A and B are shown apart, each in its own frame.
Chain A
């Protein structure tokens, strides 16, 4: 495992977030960034020689279980955030008539 390669995934996600043209694409990119950050945290607690944190008689050293417990919470909360963002995108479509960022943010022609 190389943290640099995982960090590249996070950077690709930020690039996509800044260049995405509609709201659904932005939600996809948030999912990618989240997966990359979870992978970075798990790599932080994982060290050589440690086994998975399940207790038994033969196990002497385990990896750090604290990041794993936190990352399960992150996955669950991330899924609810995704569902909430998609619901808000449907409301945005019914209000502005479009989900493209250029229509939603730059609507000078509508300010009558």
Chain B
């Protein structure tokens, strides 16, 4: 009988700890802290499963919810604020002297720092080989957020992005003062009205 009351007391203590952890997860603002709290929440629930005489469920809970799921959260949050830019311009607009010091890169870097984004500038030859008319299809079919091309007639750099994105509207306001930059927004063709 003494063992039974000990088990009951520890079950109550763990349940109170579970409520405290749940309130902490609801109240916290930082997503990185919440991942740690989610992992410890899963460990407490796993020990409660053992106290409910279900050790097999506890093994599955520890392996999946406190090991793999925090890993998935970390990967997805680090990928979350990634802004993918396809650079089709082959002059010193973005890359000059083999480093990111061009005037276009300075503008984009200021934009990314203001909205807490991470720039990912690619120069993939397979995607750059597509023609000008394919840009809208490329924007819709892949995760590319911004395509930079050059208009040879007016000697302007053209930023192309999805009209549904808030960030392309912010970028248009930011580059209003620059005469050699033009922003083109692709409207949705089959989604919405």
Given contacts A9-B18, A16-B25, A103-B166, is CB(A79)–CB(B57) below 8 Å?
no
In the complex, the answer to whether B79 meets A90 with C-beta atoms within 8 Å is: yes
Q: Is the CB of A39 within 8 A of B53?
A: no
Bound together, the chains give a CA A75 to CA B57 distance in angstroms of 8
Question: Contact at A32–B60, with CB atoms within 8 Å?
Answer: no
- The answer, yes or no, to whether B174 is at the interface (CB within 8 Å) is no
- With A52-B54, A90-B80 in contact, do A12 and B65 touch (Cβ < 8 Å)? no
A51's nearest neighbour on chain B, judged by CB, is B53
Interface residues of B in 4-23 (CB under 8 A from A): 8, 11-12, 15-16, 18-19, 22-23
Residues of B contacting A89 with CB < 8 Å? 76, 80
B-contact 0/1 string along A80-108, CB 8 Å cutoff: 00110011011101111111000100010
CB <8 Å contact, A86 and B72: yes
Chain A residues whose C-beta falls within 8 Å of the C-beta of B68 in the assembled complex: 79
* Chain B residues numbered 77-104 whose CB sits less than 8 Å from any CB in chain A: 77, 79-81, 84
On chain A, the number of residues with a Cβ less than 8 Å from chain B's Cβ atoms is 53
A12 touches B167 (CB 8 A): no
- CB nearest to B44 among chain A residues: A35
B53 with A82: CB separation less than 8 A: no
**Complex-state Cα separation, A9 to B57, whole angstroms:** 19
**C-alpha spacing A19/B26, complex, angstroms:** 9
Q: Which residues of B contact A38 (CB under 8 A)?
A: 45, 49, 57
A7 to chain B, nearest CB (A): 11
**In this assembly, does B183 line the interface, its C-beta being within 8 Å of a C-beta of chain A?**
no
Cβ of B180 under 8 Å from chain A? no
B64-A79 in contact (CB<8A) = yes
Q: Is the CB of B22 within 8 A of A82?
A: no
Q: Output the least CB separation between B40 and chain A (Å).
A: 12
A32, B166: Cα distance in complex, Å:
31
Contact A5 B22 (CB under 8 A): no
Cβ of A19: which chain B residues have Cβ within 8 Å of it?
Answer: 26
User: Which one of A5, A71, A83, A93 contacts B80 once the chains associate, using CB atoms below 8 Å?
Assistant: A93
**B41-66, CB < 8 A from A:** 41-42, 45, 48-49, 51-57, 60-61, 64-65
Chain A interface (Cβ within 8 Å of chain B)? 1-2, 5-6, 8-9, 12-13, 15-16, 19, 24-25, 28-29, 31-32, 35, 38-39, 42-43, 46, 50-53, 63, 68, 71-72, 75-76, 78-79, 82-83, 86-87, 89-91, 93-99, 103, 107, 110, 112
User: Can you spell out 22 A-B residue pairs with CB atoms less than 8 angstroms apart?
Assistant: A1-B11, A1-B52, A5-B16, A13-B22, A16-B25, A19-B26, A28-B34, A38-B49, A46-B52, A52-B55, A53-B53, A63-B54, A68-B57, A78-B65, A83-B72, A90-B143, A93-B81, A95-B162, A97-B166, A98-B167, A110-B169, A112-B163
